[in-house]
Amino acid sequence: MQKLRVESFSISIDGFGAGPEQSLENPLGIGGTDLHKWAFTTKTFQKNVLGNNKGATGIDNEFAKRGFNNLGSWILGRNMFAPIRGPWLDEKWKGWWGDNPPYHVPVFVLTNYPRKSIEMDGGTIFHFITEGIHHALEKAFDSAKGKDVRVGGGVNVIQQYLKAKLIDEMHIAISPVLLGSGANLFSGINMHSLGYTCTEFTATENAIHVIIKKNN
């Protein structure tokens, strides 16, 4: 059965998945880049994002690697695709990643403003969905051809899918930093009432990896 998953989503000790004052210069907000230090040196990140064969193996890499297993499509919030707000005044922007984004499968971007799909190198196709989270998930499941769908973020999009009880499994990486403010993943979210349970946690020098699953 197909699943909707959150993978390798990094938060601070105080629960923030992005820092304050997100911008073109600071897409993850002030201090937000520090959340992902555990992933940057892994072999999976180096291969999938930077296109080389460097990087470390080990527990952090295994968690990063599992995020790409049996994956057929992605769902992203608009902020994960672009720093642009409002109507698409300049359609030259095609994402943060250059001509060959690291997805290599269909990606469904939630937005309030229509835009034509963009076909990129390596098999990534960005589709822009204006009809909401349920329509995006339906499209993503269809495009995944039996494989799972990954919600890449940001915080608001994950919260919407959690409140709708649509996320089946989450891998959260808790990084040893404090941000103090920003976008808090669990703000206003009662995970227990929504029917989620922590089923696994593993600590490394770089992060605490937590697996949260929806109760059957």
- Cα angle for residues 27, 7, 136 (degrees, 5° grid): 80
Q: What is the mean pLDDT of residues 203-209?
A: 97
Phi-psi region of 126 (alpha: psi -120 to 50; beta: other; left: phi over 0): beta
- Biggest alpha carbon–alpha carbon distance for the chain: 45
- The amino acid present at 212, given as its one-letter code, is I
Q: In the structure, what pLDDT confidence band is assigned to residue 160 with cuts at 50, 70 and 90?
A: very high
Give the Cα separation of 157 and 179 in Å (integer).
20
Q: What is the mean pLDDT of residues 141-160?
A: 96
Domains and CATH numbers, the chain: 4-18+28-83+100-214 (3.40.430.10)
Residue 50: per-residue pLDDT? 79
Higher-confidence residue: 10 or 24? 10
pLDDT at 168 over 90: yes
Give the Cα separation of 61 and 43 in Å (integer).
6
The values of phi and psi at residue 104, to 5°, are 65, 20
Task: Tell how far CA 52 is from the center of its chain.
Answer: 22
Predicted TM-score of the model (pTM): 0.94
Task: Tell how far CA 8 is from the center of its chain.
Answer: 7
CB burial readout 47-62, b (16+ within 10 A) else e: bbeeeeeebeeebbbe
Residue 20: per-residue pLDDT? 86
Residue 90: per-residue pLDDT? 80
Q: Indicate the SS3 state at residue 103.
A: coil
Residue 68: per-residue pLDDT? 94
pLDDT tens, residue by residue, 56-77 = 999 999 999 999 999 999 999 9
Q: Name the percent of the chain in helix, strand, coil, to the closest 5.
A: 25, 30, 45
Cα distances (angstroms) measured from residue 5 to each of 41, 53, 129, 154, 180 = 23, 26, 19, 13, 27
Is the four-CA dihedral 40, 31, 7, 133 of positive or negative sign?
Answer: negative
Strand arrangement of the beta sheet that strand 208-214 belongs to: 118-119, 125-129, 106-110, 71-77, 148-153, 4-11, 169-174, 208-214, 196-203
